[in-house]
Amino acid sequence: MQIKSPATFSRYVALGDSSTEGIDDPDSVGGYRGWSQRLAERVDAAQGGGLLYANLAVRGLTTRQVRERQLADALAMRPDLATVFCGTNDVTSWRFDAEAVAADIAHMQHALVRGGATVLSFTLPDLTPLMPLARVIAPRIAALNRALAAASQASGAILVDFAAYPVATDRRLWSDDRIHANAAGHARIADALAHALRLPGSTPAWQKSFPIELAQTWGEWWSWEMRWFKRHFAPWVWQGLRGHSSADGRGPKRAALAPL
């Protein structure tokens, strides 16, 4: 889909999981800001106000669950701008069905586009540079990205290809858990989406790597790996074995359209 610049939007609805919810980008009141809210703020400022924003995201959801729990509510809001980003919980689950994920993403994008929305999605980079264990799920991430590309081409959604840029796996943009972006990472995602929408003041600078590479000794690397394993990987495995999900008992972050 080609965006005519400048574009004006009145209703933005974000669908997704923990990334769209905003983890790990703390706000000043005990919650999370995140790239979706940052994008909403950019859009609102660019057009001098008037944007209504809803964020239906719930951490821990699979793509099928996002479709089942969020799409109908999103369509009822008649958005003219929507973001769909999910799949991380699919590629990290014990079982992964690439065809089913592809079908669910395509269905959501098509439905939102048919409803009159400009729809944005983005790819997930190979996480192996952040955590060596991720090479096990690298083929799944590649399959997810192929599904996103095919769905976006067919539906007319805009796809921002983060996976194509090395900076996407610079650990300065990632939370300590290596699954979620940190505040700088969320800001970078919002910059990329703003650029895709051709918002005033947006540039392709989000694609650029940091001017200084990080140096790390073997000892520092080993300490970093052990800390991550104890704090994040082991608890995640235990949660999965017990059949628990971080989505349990949670509702949408921002269930209704409202001014920023």
Residue 28 is predicted with a pLDDT of 82
Q: Does 243 map to a domain?
A: no
Report how far residue 132's alpha carbon sits from residue 225's, in angstroms, rounded to the nearest whole number: 9
Q: Does 231 map to a domain?
A: no
Residue 202 is predicted with a pLDDT of 95
CATH number at residue 152: 3.40.50.1110
Q: Does 62 map to a domain?
A: yes
Report how many domains make up the chain.
1
Residue 168, domain extent: 11-216+255-259
The first and second tokens of residue 45, run together, are: 């400022």
Residue 133 is predicted with a pLDDT of 74
Helix axes of 34-46 and 183-196: crossing angle, nearest 10 degrees: 40
| 239: Cα within 13 Å, side-chain hemisphere | 14
Q: What is the pTM of this model?
A: 0.88
Q: Does 1 map to a domain?
A: no
Residue 2 is predicted with a pLDDT of 47
Q: Does 100 map to a domain?
A: yes
> Per-residue pLDDT for the chain (260 aa), expressed as one digit of tens each?
545 445 689 999 999 999 999 998 999 888 999 999 999 999 999 999 999 999 999 999 999 999 999 999 999 999 999 999 999 999 988 889 989 998 999 999 999 999 999 999 999 999 888 877 778 889 999 999 998 999 999 999 999 999 999 999 998 998 888 788 999 999 999 999 999 999 999 999 999 999 887 766 767 665 666 675 666 555 555 465 555 556 556 789 999 999 98
Q: Does 246 map to a domain?
A: no
CA terminus-to-terminus distance, the chain: 26
Q: Does 240 map to a domain?
A: no
Q: Which string of b and e fits 56-86 if b means at least 16 CB within 10 Å? A: bbbbbbbbebbbebbbeebbebebbbbbbbb
The first and second tokens of residue 86, run together, are: 């999910």
Q: Does 241 map to a domain?
A: no
